[in-house]
Amino acid sequence: MKVHIDTDIGGDTDDLCALALVLAAPDVEVVGITTVADRNGRRAAYVRHALKLAGAGDIPVASGAFTFLGGEPHEPGLQGKRYWPDMTPAQPGSPGDAIDLLHANAAAGATVVAIGPYTNLAVVEVMRPGAFEAATLFVMGGNVLPPAAGLPQWGPAMDYNVQADRVAARIVFERLRPLVVPIEATVRTWLRRADLARLRRGGALAQLMAHQAERYAEDTGIAEQVAANPGLPRDLLNYQHDPFACAVALGWDCFTARDFRLSATERDGQLALIPDAAGRELRVVTDVDSAAFSTRWLDVVAGSASR
């Protein structure tokens, strides 16, 4: 299975956990990794560092879009040395390199998984219409159904990958046919403190994931979310949004999906996926086997991170 990952690694810890999964998964060849919101090439440098730790430095990497086509005005955050000790300097590249790499892999029929804002995908589709016809596309983001009781009741405003670049998201939802892995599903996937001991016994990449998970929990106030939502595990460190999207793309038996007719609609400055009989048919993940996903993810990344 040939897989291309498009990521905004370096703002949250789950992108690293997603890379670790696809790098370690059996019968998977990662044919390229592109970064988005990568003005100075630091996100691509994070990717290369992770690949070095995994012994996979030959995978093509390209830094992509510097900014967004249009969405929530902000400058995306970047983690520093507290999260990424022993980093090598960034090497800024041309966004055109990422467009070429993403287009080539999509045209060759790769499975493309977008785990950041969809800017690179939209640019490729607009510049080279039909580029994704041979590809199978998965996107982390979107909000279709209300979250289950006891969990954070997130709506479109919390859907960063969509709201960060609403123009790009509209292009992807209206012109492509991605399988959507929405936030109401990913809020049920967790990295827990109980997982850290096993990660620390793994190789360098697994140990970096454990290090970052603790730092992220300290910096983001995740404890307040746990206290307010009884459906969350008491030892939650972070949500596994992006690793779960990759697991769906790899066909793991830990989710349920069904088809909806949806329209991408602007409401109060936010882009929402609204049920609409005249809308486009999109397949959306609707249920998660949280325990099965967590167990298998940990088995894969902790068992092979010492390669």
Range 301-304 contact pairs with CB under 8 angstroms and sequence separation of 24 or more:
301/17, 301/20, 301/21, 301/24, 301/199, 301/202, 301/205, 301/206, 301/209, 302/198, 302/199, 302/201, 302/202, 302/206, 303/24, 303/202, 304/24, 304/203
pLDDT band at 23 (very low <50, low <70, confident <90, very high): very high
Question: For the chain, what percent of residues have pLDDT higher than 90?
Answer: 89
| Single-letter code of the amino acid located at 187 | V
pLDDT at 307: 37
Task: Find residue 256's DSSP bridge partners.
Answer: 287
Q: First vs last Cα of the chain: how many Å apart?
A: 20
Residue-averaged pLDDT of the chain: 94
Give the model confidence (pLDDT) of 69-85 as tens digits.
998 888 888 999 999 99
Give the model confidence (pLDDT) of 36-57 as tens digits.
999 889 999 999 999 999 999 9
Q: DSSP alpha helices (H): ranges in 3-129?
A: 14-24, 42-54, 95-107, 119-127
**Could you tell me which residues come within 8 angstroms of residue 123 by beta carbon, excluding any fewer than 6 positions away?**
65, 69, 95, 99, 168
Run of H or E residues at 168: helix 166-175
Question: For the chain, what percent of residues have pLDDT higher than 70?
Answer: 99
| Residue whose entry in the numeric block shows the structure tokens 């190789």 | 203
Domain 2-190+239-304 fold: Inosine-uridine Nucleoside N-ribohydrolase; Chain A (3.90.245)
Q: Say if pTM beats, i.e. exceeds, 0.85.
A: yes
Give the domain ranges of the chain.
Answer: 2-190+239-304
Q: How many CA atoms lie within 13 A of 163 on its CB side?
A: 18
Give the model confidence (pLDDT) of 93-137 as tens digits.
888 999 999 999 999 999 999 999 999 999 999 999 999 999 999
